[in-house]
Amino acid sequence: MEERKTCDVCHSNFLRKISFCRTQIQQLKAEDVRVTNKDYGKSLAMAVCQDCGLIQPQHLIDPHSLGKLYHEGNDAEYVHSASLRGQSNYRQISRIIKRYDPSCSSFLEVGAGSGTLVSLLKNEYAQVDGIEPNISFCEFARDAYTIALKNVGIEDFQTDRTYDCVVALDVLEHVASADRCMGKIAAMLGPSAIAIIGTPDVESFASRLFPGKWWHIRPGHLYYFHKRSFLRLAAKYNLSLVGSEFFSWELPLGYVVDSIQRLIFGKVWMKFDACRIPLRLCLFDSRLNIVKKG
């Protein structure tokens, strides 16, 4: 693997290797990038940019190898909770669009997962598209909601059109290059369009409370932003922050209990995944950033 010489975002060569996680891994496998992966505190070797503060992999990530892992992986646990997660996302995203872009008529979700958000927004907007690199999630969306997500990751997505709103929830930290991802999102925004970009906040209270084993430190997460590094990336593409709020999830209670066991004991002693009672969680450690051109 080729060592990274400059920061993905600001191209500074002041990168410092850091001990960031509890368990360091050499390379990623398909199970590492699952949505429901619970290997908290496990990640690739990381470096921090001394200029913009972005935490990023010490080695360059090959977008095609990474794309293959996302394309092929199976994640039955995610699919079981997809509808619950998607409905919760819908409530937040729908409210944000109405507030920040009331004349929105076209929408794209990057990393649409199960397609629940796309299927719910289709009732409200003229043009609603979704792209999703995982083939089994696209099949689920087709069978459950009769919608056709485009089976492609943001790195390979090509379009000539622009949208009034582009949403990327928990995408920016997963891609081979956060800079390329943001550049592509910016290019798809129309003149008064907004982008809603959700990503964990590495300066949050929870991140500081659990150094090295915060639940957002996991193998599939490659970029860790705080407010300053996110704004630096946005500004690079002439995007300014017009709003920010904490992201909340709705998850099955059993999933949360299993995750807490993994966090505390490093393993799941007793599986509660059959318990599907919905639980709304806001841990104040993941932000929805609303950005606009200009």
> Which residues form the interface with Zn ion (CB under 5 A)?
7, 9-10, 12, 49, 51-52, 54
> Least CB distance from residue 165 to Zn ion, whole Å?
28
The residue among 40 and 224 lying less far from Zn ion, judged by its C-beta, is: 224
**CA angle centred on 152, ends 146 and 157, rounded to 5°:** 120
> Least CB distance from residue 261 to Zn ion, whole Å?
36
> Least CB distance from residue 195 to Zn ion, whole Å?
21
CB 29: neighbour CB atoms within 10 A?
11
The residue among 49 and 251 lying less far from Zn ion, judged by its C-beta, is: 49
DSSP 106: E
- Residues in contact with 69: Cβ distance below 8 Å, sequence separation at least 6, in sequence order: 28, 29, 30, 32, 33
> Least CB distance from residue 133 to Zn ion, whole Å?
26
SS3 content of the chain, % helix, strand, coil (to 5): 30, 25, 40
The residue among 223 and 247 lying less far from Zn ion, judged by its C-beta, is: 223
The residue among 51 and 203 lying less far from Zn ion, judged by its C-beta, is: 51
Is 8:179 a contact under the CB 8 Å cutoff? yes
Secondary structure element (H or E) that encloses residue 241, with its range? strand 239-246
> Least CB distance from residue 207 to Zn ion, whole Å?
19
The residue among 47 and 196 lying less far from Zn ion, judged by its C-beta, is: 47
